[in-house]
Structure 1
Amino acid sequence: MILKKIVLVTLVMVNLFVFKGVQAQSLKHPVIWVTEAERADLLEKIDKYDWAKSVVNQLHKRVDTKLKIHQSNANIILSTIPDFAKHDRENTERKASPIAAGHNKVLTLASEAGMLYFLTKEEKYAQFAADILAYYIDVIAPLTPETTTICGNEFFDPRTTYAPFAIAYDFIYNYLKKPNIKVYNKAKNTRVAFNNNKAQKAIANIVGNVMQEYGKPDEHGKIVSNHPILTAPGALFSIFCIDDDAERNRLFNVFWQKGTAHQNSFKNTILPMFGEQGIWPESLSYSFMPIITMVLNIVDRIYPEMNVTQDYQNIFEGNFLFDHLRHPNRKFVRFGDSKRNHDGTQDLYRYTLSIAERRGYSNLKKQAQIALRQAYTAEGGYKPRITNDIFNNFKPLKLFWGLPIPAHTQGDINFNKPTVLVKHAGVALQRNYVEKNNELYGLSGIIGGAHYVHSHLTGISMELYGAGYIMAPNAGLPKSVSERKIPLHENYFRLYAGNNTVIVNGTSHGLQPGSWKDGAYVWQNKTVNIASEPKHLENPISKNFSFATQFLNDDVNKATQQRTLSTIRTSDKTAYYLDVFRSKSLNENKFHDYIYHNIGDETIITNRKDDVLKVTPTNQYKNDIGDPVQSPGWRYFENTKVTKSTNKAVNIRFNINDDKRYMHMFVPKGTDRTYTKALAPATREAEGDYINKKTQVLAIRQKGEAWDRPFIAVLEPSTTKKASVQSIEPLMDGAKIVGAKVVSKVKKCVITDYIISQENQNATYNNIKLNLTFKGRFGIVRVEEEKNKNTYSLYIGDGETLRFKTYKVTSNQEKSAFKIFK
């Protein structure tokens, strides 16, 4: 008890020293985004470039009208400030959101007025910002770090209110330090002398509330969510507003080195999670994390001696990975809780360019300039906009850190490489690019799955693009936070049946221990890449062929799975995917279900003669395993109708009536299967009307194992009702299926592809009838017949030798080879 009293007295004495005594202040404001020394160059940039002028004009448009209102009646703007919460755990995120939005609107106004003061030196802007800040200071200063809050949520305030408060204070600091500065006091309806000691107490409370040094310590090396990244600006910006040098440096050390359980150490907990690929290990739209590059830039500007930009080059290089993960329509691929239309790449490039320019990183500078030029070209020119976004208060950095991009930057970045791997997510992308009208005729697909924060439980899922649409979509994320908690998301979209995958014995599920979210039951093993041609971000050996194989050792479901996706082009306007999915239970193999979703209006199942197969209603997917999330999730299938079992070849066509696009699916003969067509919930972020229409679903059920008899499907997206693919047959090795013969007709050319896809790179296939032998995992023999002339193409994606008739290729050190024989 005596010790507690001594500590309390000591804290009170420190408080008196910091806020009532003389403070050592060596930091010159503004400092967070820009300095006074940079102002002249900034004004020159505004004078010289229209895009910079437009940002300034937008700031004026957002501030000037409200400034005039405030000058006529100071109560009007201040009266729009919502009530303050009583403590930082008073409100859920859902309840805090509108409160935070209201405060953010006013505090953003203050920060933008502060920016205009810096640019124009007109004191009316500083006075406007000061009057707003004074209102907040009066409320926050009497509190303690534990009781400090604005919107009543410890996660929302550092993201939405604390950062714009700090930015405003930083920009008008020199004005506030002038003698006899007065600010409006709404309660007294008069102007009073500005009290910087009170402002410092309020800022110290804000910093204390974010850092929560009164809570548990940080565990360095712990895997954390993105929360401490999102709250970092609220902490860091506020720390740089602390006047006392010793306290500011101490707090920065806690932020950077020591950390707390709430605001983890940037150096020792957050940054190590980026790994070799330099990206944040979550689903794609969460992975951009431009705050990381922004923080590194700010820290490097203020503490250049730390040399942080040199230490984290992998992160800056990783910023350029995301543009490799776009479909031909520039929408992002989707894995886990991800949104296609969220795009943080330009912020990443601008922040990286700012660092590279200042530090002289010539390679990074060139990459950033090229990437920005390509992005601006795709958008029809650079037209920066400042818009309202409570979670992104950093849009004016387009002006302060923005740099002109040369009109003709030498070189380009090839964002159309065939193979892209995202290791933490277990994802492999396969792309086939065409120079002319790639959006319509290019292919792009991904396969994979793993457990990570914001992951879904999918096994080896698949997503395919074609004919201008993301035809076969992964599930993604709903519009609102509240929708993430409804059964449709938790019990369908997040589970196997909401994705394109294979379900084992009707029981594929995840575990709760280890799951990133309470009650989610989504823990699964990681899918890993075991082969691809080309390798990650390397050039292909053939413009027509590429492949990737993903492997999953599924400890949860006691199963082994392997999936190969290949893009195969037959002309500038025709191409198809080959999907080979091997799966087996390590216990009893009762049955396997191949689940495939396609946007559209109709699913038509026919035999090889184009006769429609009869279907009857079935309830075989109206069940679950009885876990809390109703795995595997297929209870959400509606209007389920099944064919009789057949071992004949089956063709399926998915019709997209809006603009007459199609996905043609071909399944070879040889294995007894039933085909169920159904409707599923509408596809999130789908194009056009398909965002509201039910999604077409096909479920192919096969009794027993699916390893020696894998699911094989050719999928051809097309603008025509008739596919270029004519037929598909299995390639057999005894009783095992090791690939497919695919026959296509393009104009007058008949193209026959013999595609061998074996389970390992040491497997040998010998087809005496075809006079074909192959040692390896993946290879293709193509025969093109036109005008009685044959052309042969031999491709080894992963293997040693491939021989067809008298033609032969041997692989290089990369285990690949390609040659055309005429």
Structure 2
Amino acid sequence: MIWVKPDDKQAILHNIEKHKWKKDYYQAFVNRVQADVAAYYENPKQYLSGLPFDLSAQKPGQIPPFFYINNPDKEAAYRRNKLQHYLKNAIDCSIIYFLTNDEKYVKYSTSVFYTFLKSMLQLKASETPFNGGLIYQDDHLRESREVGAQMPVLYDFIYPYISKGGKGYNFVTDTYETVSVTEAETIFRTYVNLALGRGIVDCNWPVLESSSLVCNTLALNSESERNYFLQYYLTRDTTHQDALAKVAAVYKKEINWPESLNYSSGVAKLSTYLMTLLTKLDSSLHLGRKYPEILSAVTLPYYLTYPNNTQQILFGDGGRSYRHPIVNYELAYFLGKLENSSSIQNEFGSLLNTALQEPAYNRSQLNPRSYIPEPYFEEPLKLLWYCPEIVGEVKTYPKPVTVELPFAGILLQRNLSSSANPKHGLMTFVGGGAFIHGHASGMNMELYGQGHVLGTKAGKGSYTTEIHENYYRLFASHNTIVVNGYSRGEGGWVNLAINTVNKVAMEPLAYKKPVSGNYSFTISGFIDDKGDSAEAKQERTVGIIRTSTATGYYVDIFRSESKLPNQYHDYIYHNIGDSLIFNTSDQDFVLQSDEDRYKFKGPEKWGRERKFMNPGWHYFNTVETSNKYEKDLEVLFEANALGKQPVKMKLFVTADKNREYTKALAPPSVESVKAYSDKQTPTLVIRKKGEAWRNPFVVVYESFAGTSNEGQIKSVESILQNGIFKGVIVNSIVNGKAIKQMIISQDNDDSIFEDKALQIKFKGRYAVLTLNAKSQLAELYIGNGTQFSYQKWSVTAADAKAVSLSLTISGKNGNSNANGKFKISYPEGFKLTETIINND
């Protein structure tokens, strides 16, 4: 009854017979077990004795116990894989028996189960409350997925056979023996109790253990006992196990499971699996209708992908590669059928049919055996649950301009070109926070260009290794600022907690309509105060500015100020590629070798998962640093292995006092494209001595491809008012025409910038004024502001409430879009169309 009921059988056989993909899959499913079945029948003693038994503990005439397996054991991986291999083959054979009544398969499955049962009954579960298991003495978390979740499913399929007298083979005595229900239930209760009494809460552990908890509960004969233990999955928490209701509440609050994407996707999959399993068992539970927020999270990773659709944003221990979570879609669609919910079926039917158009997905394909630590259900349920036909419209799923992930402090913005060419897309995000599998990142940023993530977080190393813990997890591996050489995490998960980056302003708001197709922006705030030697406040403004269907750029304005004397701030930027060049012939700019600059100065020593060699920049090598340089500077990154033409990222860094520039090679950005995943990453560091708030780090980034070192931007210069930074002027040649863009960025909603000579005045946070070659208004974008005037043009927000607005001029005609009420005045002779965007 766990995966199927007896009356499901005919429908499954009908689908196999009538639908080619199911028939092909079933045939491959049957073929795969033949070698093991043949080996068993040729010599059952030899076949079963291939399991990892501890012969030194064997008692006369009894099947020996398994070895206890601990993570440090040299043979651990081999032994674990052996256990999984036998269990997975036995489950598959038991399913074939269920469908065909061929006892050849059930005899094999029963003997495997019996061997496991007799061996496991001789083991004593570890008493450690943290993570003690039965076979895996120091890792119930893993055992619950690799063994615990499989034993009851196998038993469920062979139960009809053993209840009619079917026996298991004892390879020691060469006899067939009765499979005791009492003994089987002893193992099931052991795993139930391990799930309820081991592990930790408020992380993904309870969800990872839940397949074992639920399936072992369902294998018990007593209905009252089943109902009692099921409440511990559905509603009742323990000090070691969170129930589904608590998990759903986290989704409702955080939008997504609050861990890095590889872990959060696994939580969504396992939760959807068990919600479907239990709804199939008891339709009155209506878990799909009750917890729609979990199903909504299934689709979220797609909305966090870059324009190339193959990479997703990288934060914490997550991975870069993206593929549609087809299994999650299939389970959710089947759940929609069980719930008779047209909304669930429509959503996931369309997602499935759209994804299945891609060549990478073939429903009839059976994948090779996998031994990753996951409950085994994807492949069998493709046969037993997946709907033979999917009803749903194939369509394009538009990605929102902005997305917010509050738990990770992430504000994402993208601009997809009307050309539909992923190389023309723009996308960036800023974020950082404290969560399970999070990294001490500060306000990290990534930048996409020419079809690739160029400005990248470094990724992650192998867990517990020195480089993973002392570089990939720390500030220096991110595109961020290190304050006073000290920035770090402290407290929280493995002592890596940082304050969560907070949203100050953004346009458009997450998932809302933008006022412009060419502009968006975010402002993020952060307090860097872990430990006692950074004590800084920071604010980062990042804007996307599109200049044509194929071109655009980013502006990054990073303010940082420490309370401490003798403060200094290091702005770090990594870009995959082959080289970093300071594009200047100025004799005042001199580079010298500086290998001591980032050496670790201690006194901390690395203590695994507790103490780290912050901020991690001791891994930088081939370090060269300039003298103090106070002029504008251009920096060029070049990558020659991303396509037929070199891909470049050009940085325009505005002038400021007390600046030093460093080029270095950092460890490989392991989650980047294959060509650069094992090569050192060219890295720029800009050090500012003194505060960097009134005069922040300001960098304009433009990516382009080709042999020329020139993009469309020709120059960038700061706008200062009374010596305080107010914005930048970017001069470009776009499609042969000169344009000037004034990007105004202020640190307060009530701040005012005014240039009487140019007849400009702006009150607010962020705006972009675009002028043609004759200094005439071409476009105006107010990201957040209450008043803007340029010559005879004037925009004023109604009721002094900040608005976002775009104004585009073509000849004597203009169009405005705004997300709030405003008043506008303009020169005579113009015709203006005004639109208010309703984002309710």
Instruction: For residues 397-456 of structure 1, give each alpha carbon's deviation from its aligned partner in whole angstroms, at most 9, with x where no partner exists.
Output: 233332356576065432x21211111000111111124353212122211101111110
CA drift of 1:500 comes to 0.7
Match of 1:253 among 231, 256, 261: 231
Whether 2:71 is the aligned partner of 1:77: answer no
Equivalent residue in structure 2 for 1:355, among 319, 335, 350: 335
Q: Distance in 2 between matches of 1:110 and 1:798?
A: 62
The residue that corresponds to 1:12 in the other structure is: none
CA distance in 2, matches of 1:354, 1:811: 50
Which of 301, 305, 325 lines up with 2:280 in the alignment? 301
- Is this contact kept in 2: 1:145–1:207, CA < 8 A? no
Helix, strand or coil at the partner of 2:525: strand
**2:86 aligned residue:** 106
In 2: Cα distance, 1:598 partner to 1:39 partner: 56
Quote the residue 2:479 is aligned against: 500
1:537 and 2:511 are equivalent in the alignment: yes
Residue 542 of structure 2, aligned match among 557, 565, 571: 565
Could you tell me which of 459, 467, 487 is aligned with 1:488?
Answer: 467
The separation in 2 between residues aligned to 1:110 and 1:234, in whole angstroms, is 17
What SS does structure 2 have at the residue aligned with 1:484?
A: coil
SS in 1 for 2:459: coil
CA-CA distance at 1:191 after TM superposition: 2.3
Superposition deviation, residue 86 in structure 1: 7.2
Distance 1:46 1:631 in 2: 58
Residue 2 of structure 2 aligns with which residue? 32
| Matching of residue 616 in structure 1 with residue 563 in structure 2 | no
- Give the match for residue 193 of structure 2: 208
Mapping for residues 265-414 of structure 1, pairs under 5 Å: 265-267=242-244, 269-288=246-265, 289=267, 290-329=269-308, 330-341=310-321, 343=323, 345-379=325-359, 381-383=361-363, 384-387=365-368, 388-392=370-374, 393-396=376-379, 397-403=381-387, 406=390, 409=393, 412-414=396-398
Answer with 48-57 or 726-735: which moved more.
Answer: 48-57
Change (3 A) 1:110 1:245: same
What's the TM-score once normalised by structure 2's chain length? 0.87
Render the CA deviation track for 1:683-725: whole Å, top value 9, x for unaligned: 1122132111111110001111111111111111211232221
Give how far 1:142 is off: 4.6
Q: CA deviation at 1:598?
A: 0.8
Selected match of 1:758 from 746, 751, 760? 746
Structure 2 vs 1, CA of residues 91 and 641 (structure 1 numbering), >3 Å: closer, same or farther?
closer
Which residue of 651, 655, 666 corresponds with 2:634? Answer: 651
Match of 2:836 in 1: none
Q: Is the 8 A contact 2:52 2:67 kept in 1?
A: no
* Cα distance change, pair 622–722 in 1 and its aligned pair in 2 (3 A): same
Structure 1: gaps spanning 5 or more residues: 1-30
Three-state SS of the structure 2 residue aligned to 1:583 is strand
The answer on whether the counterparts of 2:780 and 2:808 sit within 8 Å (CA) in structure 1 is yes
Name the SS of the counterpart of 1:104 in structure 2: helix
**Partners of 1:662 and 1:631 in 2: CA distance:** 31
Query: Following the alignment from structure 1 to structure 2, what is the Cα–Cα distance between the partners of residues 88 and 559?
Result: 50
- Superposition pairs of residues 659-808 of structure 1, within 5 angstroms: 659=643, 660-720=646-706, 721-785=709-773, 792-808=778-794
Deviations 1:708-758 (A, max 9, x none): 111111111211232221111112222211221111212312222111121
Residue 170 (str. 1) matches residue 144 (str. 2): no
In structure 1, the residue matched to 2:62 is none
Mapped contact 1:372–1:405 kept (Cα < 8 A): no
**What code does the residue aligned with 1:579 have?**
D
Aligned length: 770
Provide structure 2 residue ranges, at least 5 long, that are not aligned to the other structure: 55-64, 128-132, 606-611, 811-840
Answering whether residue 445 of structure 2 is matched by residue 462 of structure 1, we say yes
Contact 1:709 1:737 in 2 (8 A): yes
User: Which residue does 2:520 correspond to in 1?
Assistant: 546
With 322-331 and 582-591 compared, the bigger mean Cα shift is at 582-591
Distance 1:737 1:63, change over 3 A: same
CA distance in 2, matches of 1:266, 1:59: 34
Aligned residues of 2:346 and 2:391 also touching (Cα < 8 A)? no
Task: Tell me, in whole angstroms, the C-alpha distance in 1 between the residues paired with 2:75 and 2:413.
Answer: 42
> 1:314 deviation in Å?
1.6
CA distance in 2, matches of 1:68, 1:637: 56
After TM superposition, the structure 1 = structure 2 runs for residues 96-175 of structure 1, keeping only pairs within 5 Å, are 96-143=76-123, 149-152=134-137, 153-175=139-161
SS at match of 1:816: strand
Question: Is the counterpart of residue 195 in structure 1 residue 180 in structure 2?
Answer: yes
Taking the aligned partners of 2:527 and 2:19, their CA distance within structure 1 comes to 56
- Which of 78-87 and 155-164 deviates more? 78-87
Q: Is the 8 A contact 1:475 1:494 kept in 2?
A: no
Separation in 1 of the partners of 2:281 and 2:125? 25
| C-alpha separation in 2, matches of 1:104 and 1:411 | 39
Amino acid at match of 1:371: L
Aligned to 2:22: 52
Is the Cα–Cα contact under 8 Å of residues 529 and 549 in structure 1 kept in the other structure? Answer: yes
Match of 1:238 in 2: 216
Shift of 1:97: 3.7
CA drift at 1:37: 2.6
CA distance in 2, matches of 1:96, 1:253: 34
Report the CA distance between 1:54 and its aligned residue: 3.6
User: 1:769 Cα deviation (Å)?
Assistant: 2.7
Supply the RMSD in Å over aligned alpha carbons.
Answer: 2.6
Following superposition, the deviation at residue 505 of structure 1 comes to 1.3
Offset of residue 66 of structure 1: 1.8
Question: Structure 2 residue aligned with 1:598, among 560, 563, 575?
Answer: 575
2:428–2:445: 8 Å Cα contact kept in structure 1?
Answer: yes
Moved more, 346-355 or 462-471: 346-355
- Deviation larger for 430-439 or 416-425: 430-439
The alpha-carbon distance between structure 1 residues 46 and 745, as it changes in their structure 2 partners (threshold 3 A), is farther
Displacement of 1:381 after TM fit?
Answer: 4.6
Amino acid at match of 1:62: R
Name which of 225, 236, 241 aligns with 2:203. Answer: 225
Q: Compute the displacement of 1:91 (Å).
A: 4.0
Deviation at 1:508, TM superposition (A): 1.0
Q: Partner of 1:638 in structure 2? A: 621
Asked if 1 retains the 8 angstrom alpha-carbon contact of 2:98 and 2:157, the reply is yes
Q: Check conservation: 2:352, 2:390, Cα contact below 8 A.
A: no
Answer with 610-619 or 550-559: which moved more: 610-619
Shift of 1:324: 0.5
The whole-number CA distance in structure 1 between the counterparts of 2:738 and 2:383 is: 57
SS of the aligned residue for 1:688 comes to coil
Q: Percent identity?
A: 29
Q: How far has the Cα of 1:38 moved from its partner? A: 2.6
- Corresponding residue for 2:820? none
What is residue 13 of structure 1 aligned with on the other side?
none
Aligned mates of 2:405, 2:601 — CA distance in 1? 31
1:285-331 CA-partner distances (Å, limit 9, x unpaired): 11111111112222222233333333312222222221101112221
Partner Cα distance (1:295, 1:88) in 2: 29
